[in-house]
């Protein structure tokens, strides 16, 4: 009986550890919000803690790239151990329980690590194909994991979810150009920069001209197209609470793209943000999804 109690306390403590990590970070993604049923929140926390910790390893700029990659490789070994019932780290003790209770496959969790390795290397994207490959591993797994947590995953919903998540990743990239470029993070595909007659030198210098405007208009339209192709996801979700959660995320991404357009695509000096008026707009549109 004592052993059972210790195991329960260990699992509860592990989830509490994950919740502390989650609540210690601000994210646009509404992890564990009031719209998520109470019985599922701890599972959101375990997945977030797993992802946040791996992301921090990738972004640990004081360490050489290969050391960061080695840390992510070790994180993947711990993930595989959790699936074998060998978890001995608080995050993986909680994650193993989430995996067991919600029937989570390992692929989306493993895919996230591929994206974090790409982040650690910081090579950017040669072309749009590489950008989409990154989105497939960095953003699309999040949508799939949400669908699995709610027991709503199927092939059709996964396809729609992938479109929305890819669009969200793109919207985030284009929103953050003014922040990322000074930090040496260039997420605009190099092929696009060349095709539109722009240059890396101009980008680093913050030069806004017609070439940059046309380039960003192309990428914003691409992201909007992805949102439109993923739109049927909301109509396919019977659970109102989840539909509302996804709808707010969807509308937030669409609104950011609208704000980039309103800036005439000049995101070199301004980072568009969602204001109270934008959030009220999102709430007004939610009922129409």
The pLDDT assigned to 93 comes to: 96
Judge if 90 and 190 occupy the same domain.
no
CA-nearest of 141, 43, 45 to 101 is: 43
* Beta-carbon count within 10 A of 24 CB: 9
The pLDDT assigned to 119 comes to: 95
- 110, 128 contact by CB (below 8 A): no
Structure tokens at 216: 């960003």
Structure tokens at 43: 């599972």
Q: Among 105, 138, 163, which residue terminates a domain?
A: 105
Q: Please name the residues in contact with 44: beta carbons below 8 A apart, sequence gap of 6 or more.
A: 22, 31, 32, 36, 149
Boundaries of domain holding 277: 123-289
Domain-embedded: residue 117 = no
Domain-embedded: residue 74 = yes
- 241, 39 contact by CB (below 8 A): no
The pLDDT assigned to 32 comes to: 42
pTM: 0.91
Q: Among 79, 105, 131, which residue terminates a domain?
A: 105
Domain-embedded: residue 51 = yes
- Residue 52 maps to which CATH number? 1.10.600.10
Judge if 288 and 168 occupy the same domain.
yes
Judge if 63 and 132 occupy the same domain.
no
The pLDDT assigned to 22 comes to: 87
Judge if 54 and 16 occupy the same domain.
yes
- Provide the domain count of the chain: 2
Query: Hunting for tokens 């497939």 — which residue is that?
Result: 136
Q: Which long-range contacts (CB under 8 A, 24 or more apart) does 45-48 make?
A: 45/15, 45/18, 45/19, 45/21, 45/94, 46/14, 46/15, 46/18, 46/91, 46/94, 46/95, 46/97, 46/98, 47/95, 47/98, 47/109, 47/145, 47/149, 48/18, 48/21, 48/22
For every one of its 289 residues, what pLDDT tens digit does the chain have, with 9 covering 90 and above? 334 444 444 899 999 999 999 888 745 444 445 567 888 999 999 999 999 999 999 987 789 999 999 999 999 999 999 999 999 999 999 999 999 999 999 999 999 999 999 999 999 999 999 999 999 999 999 999 999 999 999 999 999 999 999 999 999 999 999 999 999 999 999 999 999 999 999 999 999 999 999 999 999 999 999 999 999 999 999 998 889 889 999 999 999 999 999 999 999 999 999 999 998 999 999 888 7
The pLDDT assigned to 34 comes to: 58
**CA 35: distance to chain centroid?**
18
């Amino acid at each position: 009986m004592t052993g059972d109690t210790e195991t329960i306390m260990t699992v509860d403590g592990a989830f509490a550890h994950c919740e502390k990590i989650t609540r210690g970070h601000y994210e646009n993604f509404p992890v564990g919000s009031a719209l998520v049923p109470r019985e599922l929140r701890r599972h959101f926390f375990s997945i977030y803690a797993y992802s946040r910790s791996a992301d921090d390893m990738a972004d640990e700029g004081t360490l050489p790239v290969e050391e960061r990659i080695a840390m992510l490789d070790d994180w993947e070994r711990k993930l595989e151990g959790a699936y074998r019932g060998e978890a001995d780290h608080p995050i993986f003790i909680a994650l193993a329980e989430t995996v067991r209770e919600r029937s989570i496959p390992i692929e989306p969790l493993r895919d996230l690590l591929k994206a974090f390795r790409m982040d650690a290397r910081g090579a950017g994207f040669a072309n749009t194909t590489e950008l989409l490959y990154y989105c497939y591993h960095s953003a699309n797994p999040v949508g799939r994991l949400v669908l699995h947590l709610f027991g709503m995953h199927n092939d059709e919903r996964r396809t729609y979810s992938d479109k929305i998540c890819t669009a969200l990743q793109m919207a985030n990239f284009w929103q953050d150009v003014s922040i990322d470029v000074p930090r040496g993070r260039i997420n605009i595909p190099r092929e696009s920069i060349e095709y539109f007659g722009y240059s890396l030198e101009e980008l680093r210098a913050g030069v806004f001209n017609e070439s940059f405007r046309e380039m960003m208009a192309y990428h914003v339209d691409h992201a909007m197209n992805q949102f439109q192709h993923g739109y049927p996801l909301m109509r396919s979700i019977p659970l109102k609470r989840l539909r509302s959660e996804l709808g707010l995320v969807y509308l937030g991404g669409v609104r950011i793209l609208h704000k980039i357009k309103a800036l005439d695509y000049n995101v070199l000096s301004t980072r568009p943000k969602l204001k109270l008026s934008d959030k009220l707009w999102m709430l007004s549109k939610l009922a129409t999804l």
